[in-house]
Amino acid sequence: MLIFRLPRSGYTPLRPRRSICPDCSHELAWNDNIPVLSYILLKARCRYCKKPIPVRYFIVELLTGSSFLVNSIVMRPSLAIAACLISSGLILVSFIDLEHFLIPDSGIAVIAAGSLAWSILAGAFPRILIEAAIVFGLMILFFFVANRFKKDSFGFGDVELLGVLALATGIIGTLFTIMIGSIVALAAYAIVSRAQGKKLSKETRIPFGPFLALGGYISLLLLPVLKNLYGL
């Protein structure tokens, strides 16, 4: 719901009170809104006008549910709750970035809240504030340098995303976030350009946010393992 509403004017998270079908404007009933299940039971079509429901809804619901499951399996309950806030925020900003090429501040705020809670519960607070400030400072520097060479190559939303993720994963975690995000982004770029049968033109824009989000989430889950692997 937030992925649809946040970037659109005339909508707020609380208004309209009930969701409506964007095609026929019919109010949705509670049983049209059950995550994952409604999409399958309605056969991906609006109950009222039979127009297709974008597969994005199904993917978002499946990803959110899967991340909650993973969090609750690999973490103790209090950390898992903080991690669910982080993973929800990451999914939120990723799908808005894919569609609109922007990362909303409200999504950044959700991730910041989750990351802060995570660090406090994990005993990394307040040291983590210094680490996040260093990451944020370096990223702002990189933002200005990168955009001097190529305009719009690195969005300020990406800077904010890395900054708030660092509140949970610290400096070393941020390095893994950037490394994993860049590798997956390059692989995705190669696959997309191969599928299109040509090199993507210079004008083709690929948002970096979703890749940083994925890198950040993997880094959050596997930080102890990754640190061990590199002897850190």
Footprint on this chain of Zn ion (rule: CB under 5 A): 21, 23-24, 46, 48-49
Query: What's the closest the beta carbon of residue 54 comes to Zn ion, in angstroms?
Result: 12
33 vs 204, beta carbon nearer Zn ion? 33
Q: At closest approach, how far in Å is the CB of 80 from Zn ion? A: 36
Instruction: Work out the number of other CB atoms within 10 angstroms of the CB of residue 17.
Output: 6
**CB distance 82 to 135 below 8 Å:** no
Q: Compute the distance between CA of residue 56 and CA of residue 73 in angstroms, rounded to an integer.
A: 26
Amino acid identity of residue 71, one-letter, is N
CB nearer to Zn ion: give 21 or 59. 21
Given the complex with Zn ion, which of 57 and 136 has the nearer CB atom? 57
Indicate the residue type of 45. Answer: R
Minimal distance in Å, beta carbon 37 to Zn ion?
A: 18
Residue 175's H or E segment, with its range, is helix 156-195
List of residues 6+ apart from 41 with CB closer than 8 A: 34
In whole angstroms, the minimum distance from the beta carbon of 46 to Zn ion comes to 3
Nearer to Zn ion, 52 or 65 (CB): 52
Residue 11 Cβ vs Zn ion, minimum distance, rounded to whole Å: 17
Q: Which is nearer to Zn ion, 53 or 121 (CB)?
A: 53
Tokens 């973490």 appear where?
75
User: CA dist 24 to 45, 46, 47, 56, 95, Å?
Assistant: 12, 9, 10, 19, 24
* Among 179, 181, 137, 176, CA closest to 159: 137
Q: How far is CA 29 from the centre of its chain?
A: 28
What six digits make up the tokens of 96? 């808005």
Q: Kindly state the smallest distance separating residue 1's Cβ from Zn ion, in Å.
A: 16
Cβ 10 to Zn ion shortest distance, Å: 18
70, 88 in Cβ contact below 8 A? no
